[in-house]
Structure 1
Amino acid sequence: MTILIVGATGTLGRQIARRALDEGYQVRCLVRSVRRAAFLKEWGAELVVGNICNPDTLAPALEGVTAIIDAATARATDSLSIKKVDWDGQVALIQAAIEAKIDRFIFFSILGAENYPNVPLMEIKRCTELFLAESGLNYTILRPAGFMQGLIGQYAIPTLEGQPVWMTGESSIAYMDTQDVAKFAVKALSVKETERRSFPIVGNRAWSGKEIISFCERQSGKEAKITNVPIGAIRLMRQTLRFFEWSWNSADRLAFTEVLATGKPLTADMEEVYRVFGIEQQSIGTLEAYLQEYFSRIMRKLKELDYEKNKQKEVKSSKQKRKKVMF
């Protein structure tokens, strides 16, 4: 089976590519830049230049492809808007998949997207789910809540470096490691019971921002500098950013804080999901283990740097003493 992975250079997409290759699939990646995607080629993937926002590039990329795993989404720094990438681009990809008679289409949405019509990305994901369900394709929709990888920059690094940790809202989120999310994406290709269905893909428990900060403090031995940002300030910032076309993506991303402001947890029961996919819950990593591993590596590296620094000081001091003796 040949799989086309869309969004393969992203945090999630690269883990899907790695997993699919490890399981023996023929992997093709749709990329905008071959240079930026060179690591995928080194892993053994085939690279094809294209862009879902340029429909003319899709038909050649889909030649000989059996299945699509679609992990593409607009980044806050992209020049293209969320609507252009996550709606126009996704519709073009689904239509190209229909023309190419693709057997399986795995799509990533967001947990609870149907509950937030005023949040652009959530509403677009909901509409894309409906469009895909009505397309006639043999689809599977996966709905993660959040990725553990994002917590490093949001909480761990600021705590370590004494920088402000920004807090907005009280909602808790059941984060999952992207490596584990990739397990479900690849497994869906071979499990018939996943066809034409949607599944939540979330971690074993929901964590609030305060709980994560407290955990980071214990692991690092440092006190976090928490800065609480009122939801009103976020809304004002979003309205301001909407005045400038180049900042529309950032404004639309800020709208996601509306989800956090509700106080409702982003989590779901995974018992049936584990059963259907045939994946053992015990094989899925926990947030505690993920952060512990990160801090263990960082603290060990810091100790090594301190050792080298002290060693250099000792050598320098010894040289200075020898100079004094000579003169």
Structure 2
Amino acid sequence: MPALLEFEEAAMFSAEIQCMFLVTGATGGLGRRIVRQLREQNLPVRAFVRLNARYSELEQRGAEIFVGNLLNDRDIEKACRGVRVVISAHGANATGEGDAQSIDYRANIELIDQAKAQGAEHFVFTSVLGADRGYEDAPVFKAKREVEKYLQQQADGLGYTILRPSGFASNLLPLAERFRQTGIYLLIGEPQNRTSIVSTDDLARIAVASASLDAARNRVFNIGGPEALSRDQIPKIFGRIFNREPIIINPPLLLFDGLRGAVGLVSPSVSESLGTLRALLANEYLVTPAEVALLETTFGFQPESLEHFLRRCLGI
């Protein structure tokens, strides 16, 4: 009988290991939400975190904490052991270390190689809307696109889902809190440029579901919210939420370019990294109604509006 119990316990342990999820960027705005949703479904998840990150919430939710560095290949190899699904939710800005070359490109290539080598079944990659537009001066966009192409080449041995989200709604929460205090909103560049801002909780839900849906296997999804918002509509939404008239400060993109040029004289690498921000400020990031309908059909829910997301997260 004891031997039988040992066998059953070993089998249960093996089954748990086989369905293990690995989430990189687990303490970021997206990664933290992915871990929460996995644990709410009682799914085992290994959260890849840095030692100086705030990860106690993830641990309390039952996530396995893996402390490591995405710049270290050995750490990536160890983190991928026994993993069935990898969800890449990290980025150079979120990690606070490295750059687009090392974090957005090389670390993801190593993750893909290790996932495939260790028998993982699926890789969910968080790219960016517009990665395929060929922005030469935007390192993160270029890195994401090269990872997309590499991942698609591995489809014979590793299933994938590539998510190309527009701007994260959660990135606006600090701006909303600042607006609550001051009523001021800084809008650099063209106010009429539009974007389909995505609820970060919706994106996390899609990332988790992508691992088990046949309809999401080996697919690329452009992901955004239900509205095409001009950039000057965002402070108006803030104004409605906090019941105050927004004070919009709108410097031209030309001023940003001048400051970037001055920074380049002192630190060319920082100036280069600002190319990604410029691409974000200068262009529109929209999903079409057909793409929104595809998301609803594939993942079975209607996307959340920006105002609803903000009111929910701010408790208003």
TM range (shorter): 0.7 to 0.9
Give the 5 Å matches for 1:253-268. Answer: 253=274, 255-262=276-283, 264-268=284-288
8 Å CA contact retained: 1:164, 1:225? yes
Letter in 2 for 1:178: T
Query: What TM-score comes out, normalization by structure 1 length?
Result: 0.82
In structure 2, what is the Cα distance between the partners aligned to 1:272 and 1:238?
39
Aligned to 1:138: 159
Secondary structure, aligned partner of 2:124? strand
> Which SS does the other structure have where 1:68 is aligned?
strand
Question: CA separation in 2, counterparts of 1:192 and 1:199?
Answer: 14
Aligned residue for 2:80? 62
Structure 2 equivalent of residue 211 of structure 1? 233
After the TM superposition, which residues 1-327 of structure 1 pair with which residues of structure 2 at under 5 Å, given as runs?
A: 1-33=19-51, 36-75=54-93, 78-118=96-136, 119-136=138-155, 137-155=158-176, 157-158=178-179, 160-169=181-190, 170-245=192-267, 248=269, 252-253=273-274, 255-262=276-283, 264-268=284-288, 269-277=291-299, 279-281=300-302, 284-293=303-312, 297=316
Q: Which runs of 5+ in 2 are unaligned?
A: 1-18
* Distance change >3 Å, CA 24–CA 171, structure 1 → 2: same
Distance 1:231 1:295, change over 3 A: same
Distance 2:257 2:134 in 1: 15
Report the Cα distance in structure 2 between the residues aligned to 1:252 and 1:70, rounded to whole angstroms.
21
- Paired letter, 2:146: C
Unaligned segments of structure 1, at least 5 residues = 298-327
Name the larger-Rg structure. 1
Larger CA deviation: 37-46 vs 230-239 = 230-239
Matched residue of 2:78: which SS? Answer: helix
Secondary structure of the structure 2 residue equivalent to 1:47: strand
For 1:66 and 1:34, the matched residues in 2 are separated by 27
Q: Secondary structure at the match of 1:167?
A: coil
Closer/same/farther in 2, CA of residues 88 and 15 from structure 1, 3 Å limit: same
Letter in 2 for 1:189: A
Supply the AA of the counterpart residue of 1:105. F
Q: Can you list the C-alpha shifts for 1:91-135, whole angstroms capped at 9, x where unaligned?
A: 111111122121110000011211142222111111110011112
Structure 2 length as normaliser, TM-score?
0.84
Offset of residue 251 of structure 1:
5.1
Figure out how many residues of one structure are paired with residues of the other and give that number.
Answer: 292
Deviation for aligned residue 1:75: 1.2
- Give the match's secondary structure for 1:96: helix
Identity %: 29
Shift of 1:44: 0.4
Give the deviation of 1:249 after TM superposition. 5.3
